């Protein structure tokens, strides 16, 4: 059972919501319960964020939660400031991928001990990024336990302009917002060697990712679908195609051109095949993956100067990768899976 099966199987089918006063309901019938009982939910489980009716007229509230566990999402010896930064950055990246503007966040934090030095660094990394994204810490919880962080971010987005992952059409161009594979290289090297011997660019991308609000906000009304790349391009693209295909009622696929994949500079000294694997299947890039109609290619290029067009959505199920000699081979949707064995 992988992470996505688990969510589908145990958490997607929910029992019906009881009405106030109905047998078993915990909610009383009050003067206002008719109004307050209205569902605010516009989009539930499965995208970068859930969307609720938002505080501004015509806007949706975007909500997303991520959890980071020591030893899994970051190495135990990672700088506390980088942990604080990254925990918020990966959540803000979900807002950016939705085209949403940050509103605020909550932090739930389990700590094995209260080490003032660690907390000083952690809160400084966390709150500096919060300041840069104009996204205040609005609440949370602290407890003792194995080092685990869970952040929930709130944002807002005009309702017709949210960048959902299920809007890709056959014929759309596929784009990524910037270079891939550097963080994956850092993860690979750090498994066997100390941080000092890892290229600084790679470590920087792994530990200090920046949410691409510049791209997400510029793509409102332009991209047909978007999501952030957290588990690796191939796996995340498969999710985007599956969601879009489900919505349209027929399968979608993709052809990617390996020559147009923007490899991070630190990958260029590796054997080409190895670099390609890191860029396609490595995780932690936090660039945006998006699709747009080919007529909008010039608009995309103008609004997102760092974006690269890497392929096309097809109406045939499955993903293909073409190489320098224009031979194609199947591209496995293999990405990072937290429950793979």
Q: According to the annotation, is 286 in a ligand binding site?
A: no
Structure tokens at 98: 């939705």
d(CA 178, CA 201): 14
d(CA 161, CA 219): 9
Which one, 154 or 255, has the nearer CB to its own copies?
154
Please report, in angstroms and rounded to a whole number, the separation of the first and last CA atoms in the chain. Answer: 10
Q: Are 96 and 135 in contact (CB under 8 A)?
A: no
Which one, 218 or 254, has the nearer CB to its own copies?
218
DSSP letter string over 8-77? IIIIIS-PPPPPTTSTT--SPP-TTHHHHTS--EEE-TTSSSEEEE-SSTTEEEEEEEEEEEBTTTB-TT
Which one, 143 or 196, has the nearer CB to its own copies?
143
Burial 147-178 (b: 16+ CB within 10 A, else e): bbbbbbbbbbbbeebbbbbbbbebebbbbbbb
- Min dist CB 148 to its own copies, Å, is 5
Which one, 102 or 235, has the nearer CB to its own copies?
102
Which one, 37 or 333, has the nearer CB to its own copies?
37
Which one, 246 or 250, has the nearer CB to its own copies?
246
Which one, 93 or 314, has the nearer CB to its own copies?
93
Contacts of 326 (CB under 8 A, 6+ apart): none
Q: According to the annotation, is 173 in a ligand binding site?
A: no
- Min dist CB 189 to its own copies, Å, is 22
Question: Using CB under 8 A, which residues numbered 79 to 118 contact its own copies?
Answer: 92, 101-104, 106-111, 114, 116
Q: According to the annotation, is 166 in a ligand binding site?
A: no
- Min dist CB 167 to its own copies, Å, is 18
- Pick the binder of its own copies from 78, 128, 204, 260 (CB under 8 A): 128
How many binding residues for its own copies (CB under 8 A)? Answer: 99
Binding of residue 205 to its own copies (CB under 8 A): no
Phi, psi torsion values for 198, nearest 5 degrees: -90, 135
Q: According to the annotation, is 73 in a ligand binding site?
A: yes
Q: According to the annotation, is 65 in a ligand binding site?
A: yes
- Pick the binder of its own copies from 170, 195, 217, 320 (CB under 8 A): 217
Contacts of 325 (CB under 8 A, 6+ apart): none
Token pair 């985007």 is found at 240
Which one, 146 or 294, has the nearer CB to its own copies?
146
Q: According to the annotation, is 228 in a ligand binding site?
A: yes
- Min dist CB 338 to its own copies, Å, is 5
Q: According to the annotation, is 177 in a ligand binding site?
A: no
Q: According to the annotation, is 284 in a ligand binding site?
A: yes
Binding of residue 307 to its own copies (CB under 8 A): no
Hey, which residues does 52 pair with through a beta bridge? Answer: 41, 61
Question: Using CB under 8 A, which residues numbered 9 to 68 contact its own copies?
Answer: 9-11, 14-20, 24-28, 30, 32-33, 35-37, 39-41, 44-45, 49-50, 52-56, 61, 63-68
d(CA 300, CA 291): 10
Contacts of 85 (CB under 8 A, 6+ apart): 125, 126, 128, 129, 207, 208
d(CA 19, CA 206): 46
- Min dist CB 89 to its own copies, Å, is 10
Binding of residue 152 to its own copies (CB under 8 A): yes
User: Annotated binding site for ATP: which residue ranges?
Assistant: 140-141, 165, 230
- Binding site residues for Mg(2+), as ranges? 48, 64-66, 94, 141, 228, 231
């Amino acid at each position: 059972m992988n992470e996505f099966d688990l969510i589908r199987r145990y958490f997607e089918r929910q029992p019906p919501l009881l009405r106030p006063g109905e047998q078993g309901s915990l909610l009383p019938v009050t003067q206002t319960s008719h109004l307050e009982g209205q569902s605010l939910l516009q989009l539930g489980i499965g995208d970068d964020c859930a969307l609720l009716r938002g505080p501004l007229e015509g806007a949706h509230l975007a909500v997303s939660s991520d959890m980071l566990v020591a030893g899994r999402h970051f190495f135990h010896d990672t700088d506390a400031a980088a942990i604080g930064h990254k925990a918020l950055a990966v959540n803000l990246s979900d807002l950016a991928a939705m085209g949403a503007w940050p509103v605020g966040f909550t932090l739930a934090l389990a700590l094995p001990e209260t080490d003032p030095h660690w907390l000083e660094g952690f809160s400084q990394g966390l709150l500096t990024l919060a300041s840069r994204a104009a996204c205040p810490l609005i609440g949370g919880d602290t407890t003792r336990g194995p080092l685990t962080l869970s952040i929930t971010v709130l944002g807002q987005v005009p309702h017709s302009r949210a960048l959902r992952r299920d809007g890709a059409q056959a014929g759309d161009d596929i784009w990524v917002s910037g270079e891939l594979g550097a963080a994956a290289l850092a993860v690979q090297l750090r498994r066997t060697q100390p941080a000092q011997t890892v290229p600084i660019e790679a470590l920087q991308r792994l530990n200090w990712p920046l949410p691409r609000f510049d791209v997400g906000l510029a793509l409102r009304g332009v991209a047909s679908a978007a999501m952030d790349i957290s588990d690796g391009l191939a796996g995340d693209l498969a999710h985007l195609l599956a969601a879009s295909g489900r919505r349209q009622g027929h399968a979608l696929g993709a052809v990617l051109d390996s020559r147009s994949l923007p490899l991070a500079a630190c990958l260029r000294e590796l054997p080409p095949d190895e670099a390609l694997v890191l860029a396609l299947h490595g995780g932690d890039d936090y660039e945006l993956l998006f699709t747009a109609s080919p007529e909008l290619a010039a608009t995309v290029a103008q609004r997102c100067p760092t974006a690269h067009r890497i392929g096309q959505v097809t109406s045939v199920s499955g993903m293909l990768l073409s190489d320098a000699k224009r031979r194609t081979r199947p591209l496995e949707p293999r990405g990072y899976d937290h429950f793979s064995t």
